[in-house]
Amino acid sequence: MVRFSELGLVNSRELFAKAVAGGYAIPAFNFNNMEQMQAIISACVEAKSPVILQVSSGARKYANQTLLRYMAQGAVEYAKELGANIPIVLHLDHGDSFELCKSCIEYGFSSVMIDGSHLPYEENIELTRKVVEYAHQFDVTVEGELGVLAGVEDDVKAETHTYTRPEEVEDFVKRTAVDSLAISIGTSHGAYKFKPGQKPEIRLDILHEIEKRIPGFPIVLHGSSSVPQDIVAEINHYGGQLKDSIGIPEDQLREAAKSAVCKINIDSDGRLAMTAAVRKVLAEKPAEFDPRKYLGPARDKLKDLYVHKIYNVLGSNDKM
């Protein structure tokens, strides 16, 4: 077992307290390879932002648990080398079992999400509380979830029953002792969050109702990519076929970040940015076969995207 503090990582507790008080959110960017990690760290160092390096269970399988432990340790040292000792959290995204959360904690994660949102309410509480009891022994922070985000293929507008029920949050937070709570207010995963003709709007009214019930408690927003239309157009210009991809408007996320929303998850926008850059290089230089020649531009575009997010969506610049 390696403790996260030995790797130079921090848990999310203090970062969230400062973010809630300061009216900004900590970026939670997903990663599974070196270029993504470099882009995240260099962007956050440049903007002097704390960061949550987020790993899904699929990403953990893809990258390998041992490599990830050293990559996270490397990220801490890389940030220092770039000139800023920014706080870095290593977080499990959408943990689906106690065993996975335990294993991540043993491999140096400083924060885990146990996503019991698909379970009946009492079972969600039971599983979440079990993970919290284990994690807190090692000072690892835990994110729980209440309410189910609509699937990529689902019609968000019709899925009102999946929104978080404000009347449940106080009981859930008390009985599980979680450190933060992910809620469902109309965001969803992937690049197809709304159908054409739908108004891309999240339910800030539900968020404010939740905040009234648990004042100052750290709230997390998943599915918060904005699907920049210039990047989608670039992908399609260079041979891609993304049709009707629509995300959450950045101004709505910025509004949410000013409240108790203290962690905003962004994955798809990064995937889109890398894809656009790779497609451009391969389309313009079909004879190119050195991976550095297309992964390098992908990394640069990803870094630019993250810097933009920090200043325009999260507001976490200069908060290290």
Q: Residues interacting with ligand G3H, by CB under 6 A? A: 30, 56, 58-59, 93-94, 189, 267
* 93 near ligand 13P (CB under 6 A): yes
* 32 near ligand 13P (CB under 6 A): no
* 222 near ligand 13P (CB under 6 A): yes
- How far is Cα of residue 240 from the mean position of the Cα atoms in its chain? 25
Kindly state the smallest distance separating residue 216's Cβ from ligand G3H, in Å.
Answer: 26
Name the catalytic one among 93, 115, 179, 267: 93
Considering only 60, 222, 303, 319, the residue that binds Zn ion (CB under 5 A) is 222
* 224 near ligand 13P (CB under 6 A): yes
CA distances 55 to 30, 32, 88, 131, Å, are: 6, 7, 13, 17
Size of the site for Zn ion (CB under 5 A): 1
DSSP-assigned letters across all residues of 187-214? -BSSSB-S-TTS-----HHHHHHHHHHS
Q: Is 58 helix (H, G, I), strand (E, B) or coil?
A: helix
Considering only 268, 305, 314, 319, the residue that binds ligand 13P (CB under 6 A) is 268
What's the CA gap between 274 and 152, in Å, rounded? 20
Tell me if 141 sits within 8 A of 114, measured CB to CB: no
Considering only 50, 108, 190, 315, the residue that binds ligand 13P (CB under 6 A) is 190
User: What are the structure tokens assigned to 178, written together?
Assistant: 């979680």
* 225 near ligand 13P (CB under 6 A): yes
Q: Which stretch binds ligand 13P (CB under 6 A): 15-23, 78-86, 260-268, 293-301?
A: 260-268
Residue type, 129: R
266 binds, among Zn ion, ligand 13P, ligand G3H, none (CB under 5 to 8 A by kind): ligand 13P
Q: Which stretch binds ligand 13P (CB under 6 A): 128-136, 153-161, 262-270, 289-297?
A: 262-270
Residue 235 φ then ψ, to 5°: -60, -50
- Let me know if 171 is a catalytic residue: no
Of 189 and 279, which CB lies nearer to ligand 13P in the complex structure? Answer: 189
CA angle 161/167/170 to nearest 5° reads 125
Sequence-distant (≥ 6) Cβ neighbours of residue 67 within 8 angstroms: none
280 binds, among ligand G3H, ligand 13P, Zn ion, none (CB under 5 to 8 A by kind): none
Residues serving a catalytic function are 93
